[in-house]
Amino acid sequence: MRSLIASLKILAFLFLCLLAVPTQLLVLALHKGPYSYIVPQLWHKGVCLIFRIKVHISGQPYTQSQTLYVSNHLSYLDIPVIATVLRASFVAKKDVASWPVFGFLSRLQQTAFIQRNRGAAAKEAGALDTMLENGKSLIIFPEGTSTDGQSVIPFKSSLFSLAVRPAMQDLKIQPFSIRLNRVDGQPPTTQPLRDTYAWHRDMETELPTHLWLFAKSKGADISLLFAPPVKASDYNDRKTLAKHCFETVSNGVENKQCLAA
């Protein structure tokens, strides 16, 4: 029975893509400003509905002006979870662009793809600078990888250099934590349960296989805990800013009180 339900979920997902993709391509041909995130946001809400991912919000997402959002990272499933709430562009590793289906969908979300090696740092910073100068808000995962969500890896500070520049004095920085409350109808007390949602560096499961296994589950219950935003102009050093964000995100993840009803 679970395999049948999973098959129906995948079919519904593909049908949703068939509806959203041509619409978003038309929107991007005409406009790449704030309204270009509306169709992707509706698509992400549909994805969460299909795969039974419930999203709970704690704190207030800052949307009054351009913002750099900073978070921990558990899975590719974080993308629809976050994008149901925020209208912004993700910053992802370059290899995501080559993923079947998901790479194409990421481009429709106006994702910025970057390389992590030092040799490409200047080029990547320039591309992100352009996006910020065009007024886009960005979502970054400074761990540089995904984890099972039990703890947060110390943040890499390189991307924070985008914020600590005179040109970005008005930029807001908002850390937020992703916390896995329940998966497949149960608290994630075992590693197999956590790994039903999480897709991280310690796993050998391929993405299509992982998505199929998640589709066979009863879904997940996720909390997004938004901390108060800070001003980029309050930080002159990227490492200090990265440390503040790391500590804030870690505190949210390690708080064991479940916010889900």
Alpha helices in the chain (DSSP H): 2-30, 38-50, 78-83, 102-108, 121-133, 191-197, 207-216, 238-254
Question: Scanning the structure block, which residue is given the tokens 């009803």?
Answer: 261
Q: Which residues of 68-80 are buried (b: 16+ CB within 10 A; e: fewer)?
A: bbbbbbbbbbbbb
Token pair of 125 as six digits: 């910073």
Summarize pLDDT for 165-205 with one digit per residue, the tens. 877 778 999 999 999 999 999 999 999 999 999 998 778 89
Confidence band, pLDDT 50/70/90 cuts, at residue 257: very low
What's this model's pTM, rounded to 2 decimal places? 0.92
Rounded Cα distance, 103 and 145, in Å: 17
pLDDT digits (tens, 9 = 90+) for 118-145: 555 455 566 677 788 888 899 999 998 8
Q: Report the pLDDT value the prediction gives residue 256, as an integer from 0 to 100.
A: 47
pLDDT of residue 122: 52
Phi–psi pair at 187, nearest 5 degrees: -60, 140
Place of tokens 């979920």: 9
**Strand duo 53-58 + 220-226: pairing:** parallel
Instruction: Quote the mean pLDDT of the chain.
Output: 89
2-254 belongs to CATH 3.40.1130:
yes
**Average pLDDT estimate for 212-232:** 96
Which of 105-114, 164-173, 186-195, 225-234 bottoms out in mean pLDDT, i.e. has the lowest? Answer: 164-173
Residue ranges of the domains in the chain?
2-254
Q: What is the dihedral of CA 20, 64, 224, 40, to 10 degrees?
A: 10
